[in-house]
Structure 1
Amino acid sequence: MISVMLFLIVTLYLSFTSDALSLPATSTTPIPPYTPPTGPPSQDKIPHIIFLSADTGGGHRASALSLNASLTTSPLSTSFTSEIVSIWPGGAWPYRDLVEAYVHLSRHPRQWGFLYHLSNTGPYLCWMNGDTVLRNVKRIRKMDCWRTADIIVSVHPTMTNIPQILSKQPFYTVITDLGSCHATWFSRRCSRMFVASEKLYEKARKRGWVRRSKLVRSGLPIRPVFGEEGERMGERFGEEGKRYREEKKAKLGLKGNGVLFMGGGEGVGMEEYIWGVKRSLEANDIKSQIVVVCGRNKLLHERLSTSTPPPPKRTIIKRILRRPKVESEPEVS
């Protein structure tokens, strides 16, 4: 009975917001359903790896890109082909509108909170798993990428259930979260589940009932370029490291001490905390600056630039709107 009620609530909610969900996602660049493989020609019949992701924030896509980049730059790069795939554009409604729904909800925090907490319950999860299978399995099975996959890696919570039902291939889940972690991540059919913290390890055991033998504590995927940056910096607190960091800060127009805010690819939910920290700095007469990495969230960038109160005398707010090449082309104002 509870599952039926939850189904009706969500269906009615999505019906009322369907116009908003059909708007183009202006703040994201969607991952195509199928992209040409990288690596040697397919006629070599070497293993083909697919990374399942979606443009719902920057973390999932960044993790997929990081894992793919690490493999393609490794000595094993000639031993496989790989691609990054989103299965939902070919799925049933409302799954095919996942990216548009995320953009809409990221601009409406109350709706976001309602759906997040509703979907993070056992009854809803049972309904969603059944619904996604009944209405999407046939569609997904027909996808070319599915027929060519030898190894499957999911970095998105909504792409853990169906793939594990469909695939006989090795399936790996890489959780791109540090602490809170939505219940949809914990599908137990995977070959291995990689978690980023001890807290997630315990949560996977208690809430997901994932066997210890399947859990790997590994941290979050990091793009190779950040490792290269670390090598160029050298010893962080040595003289060369300090000089290198000061040069980088100068290029960004940063001086002295600062507070850094990062909120994923969409910079969701940061504004309240930004102004809270600003008030605290003011109250304690601390001379500092607040650096906000807005990701692709142009709305947040504009609000911090124009529609918010001016910065206090002793606090400077810098806004960084990241371009696709995150490491090298920040736009600072």
Structure 2
Amino acid sequence: MTTTVVSITEKVLERVYGSSKSAISVAGGVDGDGERVKRHTHHHIHRHSYDDSNDDVCYSDEDESAMELVQIGAERTKNVLILMSDTGGGHRASAEAIRDAFKIEFGDKYRVIVKDVWKEYTGWPLNNMENSYKFMVKHVQLWKVAFHSTSPKWIHSCYLAAIAAYYAKEVEAGLMEYKPEIIISVHPLMQHIPLWVLKWQELQKRVLFVTVITDLNTCHPTWFHPGVNRCYCPSQEVAKRALFDGLDESQVRVFGLPVRPSFARAVLVKDDLRKELEMDQELRAVLLMGGGEGMGPVKETAKALEEWLYDKENKKPIGQMVVICGRNKKLASSLEAVEWKIPVKVRGFETRMEKWMGACDCIITKAGPGTIAESLIRSLPIILNDYIPGQEKGNVPYVVENGAGVFTRSPKETARIVGEWFSSKTDELEQTSENARKLAQPEAVFDIVKDIDELSEERRHLAKVSYTLTSSFASLV
């Protein structure tokens, strides 16, 4: 009897695409005429194991070792696949927060994998969504049109069906590689196609699928899919939208926006932080955020703050300022060259935001949901100075109507508010801080992973359901 040596990857492709000949062709093998065929959308596919009844097939040493590791891990852990995309920093931040919370709460019970399925398994334009998003956000009117024009269900349903017709196989291969018991989506475009794949492969009973929404108020309708086991909403406003769009009350939970555990549970003392960060111990401090890219009227706002936080009559400062410039080195250099009349700290891209927030008394930022959630946890009064049309627009009333901050695009008006908070309106500052504290939900990420664990335990008896492909998803579309 002839024994054939194949790789696990070849078996995956054969299962997904049919015959071994076509599988090799799609993966970058040879076509019928002996010519080399290149398929760029599959060069990221990794090795993994499948149950197989063919006794005549054996595996290469490399694949056998990998398969053994997967099988050993499967006995100890459940695989959790978090689907995200780097279209804005909030999706990855939420994904990593959930991953870290699983580790803290459950140790090795779960193996959590964070993946951008579009980037790793599909081709253009999906694998370029990050750059496309950045371009449209810089041209906000373009993004506004894209956001609202795709909101009607019939439009985005057609759009997603077209994507499925072209890239469903790639998404199928990406999902099947990790054989997840749990799939968590933290992106609005990561519901429909994965759920269609699970339905076609008859895996809904075996695989738990949940959505964690990362927009505080005005979220896109593609976030909501009736096929999810759970939809975690960061606010009551989003929960109402979920119910309006067809989800059942039993599917919806309101826990808050997931924030990284190191931030949510950090025990910080302001005096100690100011000493560590070499800040003035007595003066109130304002934190001016430029975002990850250091965008917006940061320099204009900083100069306006200097005027309001300097007592000209007594020739002394009444406040201090911390400016986060992100990756904008030109902005940082420009601010560092200024001879300030008040204490100023200029920082680049920061990974210790919990400390800088903990050391300050208020924050100036655009209306990003992650920064808002973190500011609330630190009880910081918020001055919102901008927002992205569409998903961030609703964050403004969320903050303002709950008394946790104000909104103005004017650098001079922003500086006036801070100056009054630090001098004649300290009572207003303290009340706004208290309102922010009441709105905060620091345990949200832990509540989410605990609820997912409970759902998983309820479905434990379904773990024996075979995790194999039935037929290619391509025949569905």
> 2-side partners of 1:54 and 1:292: how far apart?
28
| Match in the other structure for 2:266 | 229
1:47 to 48, 56, 78: 78
User: Which structure 1 segments of 5+ residues have no match?
Assistant: 1-31, 234-240
Q: TM-score, normalised by structure 1?
A: 0.68
Give the direction of change, closer, same or farther, for the CA distance of 1:33–1:319 in structure 2 (3 Å limit): farther
Structure 1 residue 127, shift from structure 2 partner: 2.5
Which residue of 281, 296, 300 maps to 1:271? Answer: 296
Instruction: Give the secondary structure class of the aligned counterpart of 1:158.
Output: coil
2:285 is matched with which residue? 258
Query: Which letter maps to 1:214?
Result: Q
Distance, in Å, in 2 between the alignment partners of 1:51 and 1:86 is: 8
Indicate the SS of the match to 1:318: strand
1:129 aligned residue (160, 174, 189): 160
Change beyond 3 A, Cα 1:65–1:273: same
Work out whether residues 292 and 319 of structure 1, in 8 Å CA contact, stay in contact via their aligned partners in 2.
yes
User: What is the CA-CA distance between 1:220 and the residue it aligns to?
Assistant: 1.5
1:321–1:246 CA distance, 2 compared to 1 (3 A): same
Residues 52-61 or 220-229, more deviating: 220-229
Q: Which residue of 1 aligns with 2:227?
A: 189
Q: Distance in 2 between matches of 1:35 and 1:280?
A: 56
- Is 2:169 the partner of 1:138? yes
- Once residues 35 and 224 of structure 1 are traced to their aligned partners in structure 2, the CA distance between those partners, rounded to angstroms, is 32
**Deviation of residue 142 (structure 1)?**
1.8
User: Structure 1 residue 193: deviation in Å?
Assistant: 0.6
User: What is residue 219 of structure 1 aligned with on the other side?
Assistant: 256
Of 99-108 and 64-73, deviating more is 99-108
CA deviations on 1:188-223 (whole Å, 9 max, x unpaired) are: 2111011111221122223x2322111111112122
Letter in 2 for 1:246: R
Whole-angstrom distance in 2 between the partners of 1:200 and 1:315: 41
Alignment CA distance shift 1:53-1:193 (3 Å):
same
Q: Which moved more, 1:32-41 or 1:76-85?
A: 32-41
> Against the structure 1 CA distance between its residues 204 and 73, is the aligned structure 2 distance closer, same or farther, given a 3 Å change threshold?
same
Classify 1:225/1:104 alpha carbon distance in 2 versus 1 (closer, same or farther; 3 Å): same
When residues 43 and 174 of structure 1 are mapped into structure 2, their CA distance, relative to the original with a 3 A threshold, is: closer
**Aligned-CA RMSD value:** 4.0
| Alpha-carbon spacing, 1:120–1:314, altered in 2? closer, same or farther (3 Å) | farther
- Check 1:328–1:259 CA distance in 2 against 1; reply closer, same or farther (3 A cut): closer
Instruction: Select which of 346, 350, 362 maps to 1:322.
Output: 350
Selected match of 2:275 from 247, 252, 263: 247
Residues 259-301 of structure 1: CA distance to partner in whole angstroms, max 9, x if unpaired? 334576556xx51487468648847978545544455xx24x5
Matches within 5 A, 1:12-31: none
Q: Aligned residues, how many?
A: 281
1:133-169: CA deviations, max 9, x gaps?
2222111112265551111001111112111222221
Residue identity matched to 1:97? N
Aligned-residue offset at 1:85:
1.1
Query: Secondary structure of 2:95's match?
Result: helix
Out of 49, 71, 77, the position equivalent to 2:102 is 71
**Mapping of 1:109-124 within 5 angstroms?**
109-124=140-155
Distance in structure 2 (CA, Å) of the matches to 1:114 and 1:317: 38
> Per-residue deviation at 1:92?
3.8
Partner of 1:3: none
Matched-pair contact (CA < 8 Å) for 1:289–1:315: yes
**CA 277–51 in structure 1, closer or farther in 2 if over 3 Å, else same:** same
Partner of 2:116: 86
2:222, 2:293 → 1: CA distance? 21
Counterpart Cα distance in 2 of 1:86 and 1:205: 28
**1:2-26 residue CA offsets vs partner (Å, 9 max, x unmatched):** xxxxxxxxxxxxxxxxxxxxxxxxx
Matched, 1:103 2:134: yes
Q: Distance in 1 between matches of 2:186 and 2:90?
A: 9
Letter in 2 for 1:80: Y
Deviates more, 1:62-71 or 1:144-153: 144-153
% same residue: 25
Q: 3-state DSSP class of the match of 1:54?
A: coil
Q: Which of 196, 208, 212 is the matching residue for 1:174?
A: 212
SS at the partner of 1:322? coil
| Distance of 2:263 and 2:307 partners within structure 1 | 34
- State the distance in 2 between where 1:34 and 1:322 align: 33
Q: TM-score, normalised by structure 2?
A: 0.50
> What is the alpha-carbon distance in structure 2 between the residues aligned to residue 279 and residue 195 of structure 1?
38
Task: Note closer, same or farther for the CA distance 1:326–1:272 as it changes in structure 2 (3 Å cut).
Answer: closer
**SS of the counterpart of 1:157?**
coil
> What SS does structure 2 have at the residue aligned with 1:66?
helix
Gap runs ≥5 in structure 2: 1-43, 49-65, 199-203, 312-317, 358-477
Deviation, 1:226, is 1.9
